[in-house]
Amino acid sequence: MLMYTIKRLIAGVITVWFIATATFIAMHQVPGDPLMNDKAVTAEIRANLEKKYGLDKPVTHQYFIFLGNMLKGDFGISFTQQNRRVNDIIQDHFPVSATLGILAILFASMGGILWGALTAIYRNRMPDIIIMFLVILGISVPSFVFAALGQLLLVNINSMLGQSVIPVAGWGTIWHMLMPALVLGLGTMAFLTRLMRSSMLEVVNEDYIKTARAKGLSPTRIFFRHQLRNAILPVVTVLGPQIAVITTGGFVVELVFAIPGLGRYFVQAVQQLDYTVIMGTTVFYGAFLVLMVIIVDILYGFIDPRVRLA
Amino acid sequence: MSLFQPELSDFERATVQSDIEQISRPSLSYWQDAWVRLKKNTRALVSLGIIILLAIFTLIGPLVWRVDPALQDLNQVSQAPSWPKPAIVVEPYESWDGIRLDDYAGPENYPDTLPAPENFRTVGEATTQRVRLTWDQVPDADGYNIYRNNRLPQDFNDLGLPLGSTYGDELSYEDRLSLEAREYYYAVVPTDGIDEFENYTLLQVSPKLALTLDEALARNLVDVQDNVRPGDEITIEFHPLGTDYLGRDMLARLMEGARVSLFIGIVAPLLYVMVGIMYGGFAGYFGGRLDAVLMRFADFVVALPFLLFMILFKIAFGIGPGESGIFPMLIALVLLGWPATARLVRGQVLQIREQGYIEAARLLGAKDHYLIMRHIIPNTMGVILVTLTFAVPAAIFTEAFLSFIGMGVAPPTPSWGSMCNEGVKTMLSHPHELIFPALFISVTVLAFNLLGDGLTEALDSRMRSRD
Amino acid sequence: MRICVAAILLLLINPVFAQFEATSVDYENQIITIALTQEPPQLNGMKATDQVSILVLSHVMEGLVRYDRRGRIIPGVAERWEMDENGATFWLREDALWSDGQPVTAHDFVFAWRHTLKPATASEYAFILYPIKNAEAINTGQVAADQLGVVAVDDRTLNVTFERPTAYFIKLTAFVTYFPVREDFHSAKGEAYGSDPDDLLYNGPFRMTEWTHSASLKMMKNQNYWDRDAITLNAIHADYITADTRARLNLFIDGKIVHTRLDGETYKDALTQRFRIRRFNTGSVFFLEYNHRSERATSNLNLRKAIQHAFDPDEMVNRVLATPGNLRGESLFPVWLNGVNDKFRREYPAPQATYDIALAKEYLAKAKSELGSIPPLVLLVSDSPTAAKQAEYLQGVMGSKLGLEIKIDIQTFKQRLAKMTAGDFDIVGAGWGPDFDDIMTFGDLFASWNLNNRGRYDNPEYDRLVRVAMNNTDPKIRMDAMSELQQILFDDAVILPQYEQGVIYLLHPRVKGVVRRVVGADPDFTYASVAP
């Protein structure tokens, strides 16, 4: 187990290195650069800027400088926010996104597993149809609609209560987190519902379930001890990387709910071609993702002992 | 007691019945059995019906409903679905000089309060082309502000939209701001050039839906020989599903958008799910080193910044401005979309390959690729079908996002996803712009969902044995 | 279950319940809460360029002069001044203090202006200092920074020598780039200058006390400010940072902020809620810029004339943009610019292009005969939703009325800039906002030496008129020159003006004294107060 983990970590580091290199190359291939702006500057100023930020060196040279700095853990200073170091940006904003993301995943997985199981158990009956209808509606509508509607719902609830009880935007308390996390997790919840349903349907008809029922075990016990464990593997497969995706991809939710998370930086960095922030966030995200995948693979062994990985 | 001693004469020669081992029905292979089940499955049939309807809508629809989806009609912006409406014909618009005072001298000092202007009235007929207003001068006022509301204002804070301001010598205002044929309440407030005085006069105006003669001729609503004169009534174009933010017919746009969206929404997921299945299947089955390398490559693809690489693709494929880059977008979507399926399939395969029947089949001499294709993949159908169902709307919305940044379809070509994006902006005031494309996407997703369910029931071995 | 669904649906339909007590205003403590549209990228006044940074900086710092409620120049750090053709002298007041108690001296201005012009600082707004002698030479690296034509005669007297007579110099000094910076503090902070509340010194009506990046920013009344008795507010809390207009409207409805801008969709909600909607002209002009390079079809005058006569500015403003406050585009010079005695556009009305399709077609035919054939024109736009909408409208109009094919090239921000610099477009959607309160901020846009003249329009007569306005102080001469310029812009169809931007916004009824400005901090809460 330990050997396996170490091997995976080394492979992970190599993967992250590949990610960084590919992104670096792509970033420099795209036209434009972080120094261009609406108001044009003189050639002298431009030359000075390039020298100051090391953009006048050949790209390969810049790459090795970047690599050297990355190994020291220094991602430089943001081009668009020249007072902030990329490391500080990630340090300040990642915990916010992480909290939101974990809460969202919690909602998504609890909801997904629950609804999915219900649809499987009550297959083709009312609960199944209603839930599947909601799932389809949920994925056919773009996510910002739900963000906007969610916020509107909060405004109207406050309005009805006569006081601003639930905050409609901002960050700070648990009350600020509920609606954004719910909206963020909706897509994943829908996916997990469907996934859970199909896994459960396969399991629900298995012989060992019949045996368990014949033996007189209660439905709850059957569900938790037997059905869930056998059906949950695909859910875990999705959840692992999805945590990374949701944590860093909450751009729309962060925008609508005024949350100071990392998601906004991901998108804005590419739009502004802020080289340092792009590299910093991509490497960070890559490392996070790789880590989650490793955890998922190790979990496979625990969930289904029949699975052997190495 | 005597034993029965058989003799030759006790036996009759048996006749060869070559039809004893006749099977009561023809032998069916796995796929043939699946096909039979599929045909009997209600869900699959319903989904098939929906798909056929969508196909008709996309292919035959434009031939029946011959309206140009790019034709803009700024007199009918964001109209809800309605019956054909009548409009009156008017003279072409001519700019108005307004009503000004000739010898106007500004007030000498700024008074504390001013009364509301009197005789607030319209000049000429109020039509959706323009509403012309005038009022009497308020002595010592150095300007006026005009407001418009959709319902009767209750107090000074409720006057509605601030349309504009005039200088002290201008006693008129022409309103042309997205006028509709409905009731408006105008208010005029005197100012000292900067600040307002809290007195106002109201005027109720209901402009009539109007069209200039040139417009009517240009849009073939009337012919020259009909001898239509200003003041006559004509019927303007009928938009069964309403119009969008530039006055284009929603139904025609949905039909044209169907082509792009359905193409991308079906072909892209199919492609990248297939790639994912093969990739994940091989990785999961062979395990070990191969699995490790393949999966790390999959992680690599997922971690790449999407937007950046899309911009790169757009340049790499050399899509010129305003050209629809559908195939490059398809390739891009596939290239960046397959890892999710691959990972799911690999997980399932890891579970399945440990099952007893795999070992048994291997002992019987089955080769690897036979095991994968015949035993393992069909048992991952559940997961595969779920991914497919979700990939359809995901592809449609990704395409919309890409069109937004300039890759994919170029304006004015619509697609359901980009219509949704546009519709979100007017979600609360003109919901039809969002509801219709979202509805069509929902129906498509529903069709594939039901198809997926039907296929699962038909193909999945564990569920088949129950029926 | 069904009741649940019904309740949710009911709540989603936007009902108008009683408006409750807003927490965004605090009368006893005189505190207001606002939202910012984005995280200020740069609170170093020498380098700041964006609206949000300028907003914050204008509240916490002050220059030689400032604007009053009616937009007139009044003394700031300088209590009086004199100006002539060659230069200006400012006498600073005694009681202008930094937030650490030290006085604001003339040396602080000298240091700041020199530092801004140094090429290594790479300030985008350095050009606004060019009226000062040697400023441009310093900025292009030809002479050292200490050659700048500004001298601190003593701690409280500042002497400025002009490069050329500049009538509007006093107004320039109200802008952020002209704000003072204390040298010892700046050297001590180094790269960290402006990155957190402790890394700045404040000499304005407020000072920044807290800054949680991307989340909130708090300003409190500066007790060391010389005019503190005129400031009623005790604190401004910017507790939310989001670019989404709908989110800010929701915050406003929820009573959490006192001000928000409305756009074409959110104003309808505001109407339903019976809020008072106010209007304001931002002073920016939006236009289509043609590519005048000779290899482009758009360098042909007849083609541009054809487009000029086929475009209906009323329709653009009233039906496409469809928000109140926008004015039709008639000229490069917006309506708020001052002329000699009255507004520039009232003294020198803009030439009007007649909307005449037949005439447009004639021009088009001429263009065709000159060019041979007209290839599809590429319209370069940004990826913002309003830009796309306007572009589609133009494509539709030109297509249906003239038969002219236009292709829309949507590019994200940097890619669009790259294309503009390289001249890779036929028409580009552009806009310009004023930097200072004088006609020159628009006047020199299309001079051949201006780098912002992306279409490379080159007209010696135009250049000559710009120089006349730059080098003269007599208002009549300058305005006459600009009027001729306005005529050239029209006759030569250099650009196609689209609209002058107006915005509508909401303000809490109990907040008084908020000033909207075309140049400088907007909205300006300096003189605001909370009524009971």
| pLDDT per residue as tens digits for the range C177-186 | 999 999 999 9
Segment C152-171 mean pLDDT? 91
More confident residue, C244 or B107: C244
C244 CB neighbours in chain A (<8 A) are 255-256, 258
**Residue B384 contacts residue B345 (beta carbons within 8 Å):** yes
Mean pLDDT estimate for chain B: 83
Mean pLDDT estimate for chain C: 89
Segment B45-67 mean pLDDT? 87
| Predicted pLDDT of residue A235 | 80
Question: Could you count the other beta carbons within 10 Å of the beta carbon of residue B272?
Answer: 26
In chain B, what are the helix, strand and coil shares in percent, each to the nearest 5? 50, 10, 40
| Predicted pLDDT of residue C75 | 93
Q: How far apart are CA C65 and CA B269, in angstroms?
A: 63
C23 CB neighbours in chain A (<8 A) are 164
Compute the nearest-CA separation of C1 from chain A (Å). 11
Q: Which of B370-379, C4-13, C17-26, C183-192 has the lowest mean pLDDT?
A: C4-13
Cis peptide before C523 (omega within 30 of 0): yes
Q: How far apart are CA A241 and CA B166, in angstroms?
A: 60
Please tell me which of the candidates A32, A39, A170 has its beta carbon nearest to residue C414.
Answer: A32
Q: Which residues pair with C427 in a beta bridge?
A: C290, C379
Segment B400-406 mean pLDDT? 78
Q: Distances in Å between the alpha carbon of C183 and those of A134, B96, C348? A: 63, 59, 46
Would you give the DSSP letter of residue B364?
A: T
Where residue C489 falls among pLDDT bands split at 50, 70, 90? very high
Residue with tokens 């109207």: A156
CA dihedral angle for residue C240, residue C243, residue C248, residue C250, rounded to 10 degrees: -110
**Cα–Cα nearest to C501, from C522, C528, C487, C527:** C522
**Cα–Cα nearest to A258, from B420, B427, C254, C514:** C254
Please tell me which of the candidates B347, B393, B446 has its beta carbon nearest to residue A234.
Answer: B347
B150 CB neighbours in chain C (<8 A) are 271
Compute the nearest-CA separation of A121 from chain C (Å). 19
| Predicted pLDDT of residue B467 | 43
Compute the nearest-CA separation of B436 from chain A (Å). 11
Q: How far apart are CA C298 and CA C476, in angstroms?
A: 34
Instruction: Indicate the residue type of B466.
Output: R
**Cα–Cα nearest to A27, from A287, A282, A290:** A282
Token readout for B409 is: 């379809």
Where residue C8 falls among pLDDT bands split at 50, 70, 90? low
Residue with tokens 């792509």: A26
Chains that touch A (3 or more CB pairs under 8 A): B, C
Name the strands in the sheet holding B172-175, side by side, starting at the edge strand that comes first in the sequence.
Answer: B121-122, B131-134, B172-175
Percentage, residues of chain A above pLDDT 70: 99
**Residue A307 contacts residue A300 (beta carbons within 8 Å):** yes
The burial class, CB within 10 Å (0-12 / 13-18 / 19+), for B428 is: buried
| Predicted pLDDT of residue B353 | 81
Q: Which of B423-427, C63-67, C80-84 has the lowest mean pLDDT?
A: B423-427
Query: First vs last Cα of chain A: how many Å apart?
Result: 10
Segment C356-373 mean pLDDT? 91
**Is residue C473 scored above 50 in pLDDT?**
yes
| Predicted pLDDT of residue B466 | 46
Cβ pair B424:A26 closer than 8 A: no
**Is residue C17 scored above 70 in pLDDT?**
no
| Predicted pLDDT of residue C18 | 47
Interface of B with A in 443-462 (CB under 8 A): 445-446, 449, 456, 460, 462
Token readout for B96 is: 């108005």
Residue with tokens 């091989």: B282
B323 CB neighbours in chain C (<8 A) are 407
Q: Which residue of A has its CA nearest to C139?
A: A45
Please tell me which of the candidates B287, B307, B343 has its beta carbon nearest to residue A309.
Answer: B287
Please tell me which of the candidates B287, B305, B445 has its beta carbon nearest to residue A23.
Answer: B305
Question: Count of residues for chain C?
Answer: 532
| pLDDT tens-digit readout, C24-35 | 888 889 999 999
| Predicted pLDDT of residue C6 | 56
Strands (E), B12-120: 86-90
Sign for the pseudo-dihedral over CA of B80, B81, B86, B91:
positive
Would you give the DSSP letter of residue C118?
A: S
B340 CB neighbours in chain A (<8 A) are 238, 241
Enclosing H/E stretch for B288:
helix B288-303
Q: How far apart are CA B342 and CA B298, in angstroms?
A: 8
**Is residue C22 scored above 50 in pLDDT?**
yes
Segment A222-237 mean pLDDT? 76
Segment B359-371 mean pLDDT? 82
**Is residue B315 scored above 90 in pLDDT?**
no
**Cα–Cα nearest to B297, from B330, B275, B324, B318:** B275
Where residue A224 falls among pLDDT bands split at 50, 70, 90? confident
* Cβ contacts of B162 within 8 Å, gap of 6 or more: B145, B146, B147, C277, C278, C279, C324, C325, C504
Instruction: Indicate the residue type of A122.
Output: Y
| Predicted pLDDT of residue C41 | 86
Mutate which of B76, B429, B435 to test chain C, going by most C C-beta atoms within 10 A? B429
Segment C45-63 mean pLDDT? 91
Q: How far apart are CA B10 and CA C377, in angstroms?
A: 104
Residue with tokens 């940006």: A89
Please tell me which of the candidates A11, A190, A289 has its beta carbon nearest to residue B292.
Answer: A11
**Residue A235 contacts residue A192 (beta carbons within 8 Å):** yes
**Is residue C12 scored above 70 in pLDDT?**
no
**Residue C107 contacts residue C152 (beta carbons within 8 Å):** yes
**Is residue B340 scored above 50 in pLDDT?**
yes
Question: Count of residues for chain A?
Answer: 310
φ, ψ of residue C423 in degrees (nearest 5): 75, 25
The 3 state secondary structure assigned to chain A is: CHHHHHHHHHHHHHHHHHHHHHHHHHHHHCCCCCCCCCCCCCHHHHHHHHHHHCCCCCHHHHHHHHHHHHHCCCCCECCCCCCCEHHHHHHHHHHHHHHHHHHHHHHHHHHHHHHHHHHHHCCCCHHHHHHHHHHHHHHHCCHHHHHHHHHHHHHHHHHHHCCCCCCCCCCCCHHHHHHHHHHHHHHHHHHHHHHHHHHHHHHHCCHHHHHHHHHCCCHHHHHHHHHHHHHCHHHHHHHHHHHHHHHHCCHHHHHHCCCCCCHHHHHHHHHHCCHHHHHHHHHHHHHHHHHHHHHHHHHHHHHCCCCCCC
For residue B135, the SS3 value is: coil
Start-end of H helices in B146-249: 213-218
Segment C478-507 mean pLDDT? 93
Where residue A248 falls among pLDDT bands split at 50, 70, 90? confident
Q: How far apart are CA B285 and CA B274, in angstroms?
A: 16
Segment A30-40 mean pLDDT? 82
Cβ pair C276:B158 closer than 8 A: yes
Cβ pair A82:C18 closer than 8 A: no
Cβ pair A163:C20 closer than 8 A: yes
More confident residue, B213 or C429: C429
A34 CB neighbours in chain B (<8 A) are none
More confident residue, C32 or A196: C32
**Is residue A309 scored above 70 in pLDDT?**
no
| pLDDT tens-digit readout, B16-55 | 776 666 666 667 676 777 777 777 777 788 888 888 999 8
C276 CB neighbours in chain B (<8 A) are 156-159
- Of the spans B332-346, B407-421, C226-240, which averages the highest pLDDT? C226-240
Token readout for A133 is: 């209808």
Please tell me which of the candidates C70, C269, C509 has its beta carbon nearest to residue B428.
Answer: C269
Q: Distances in Å between the alpha carbon of B293 and those of B286, B290, B304, B338? A: 12, 5, 17, 16
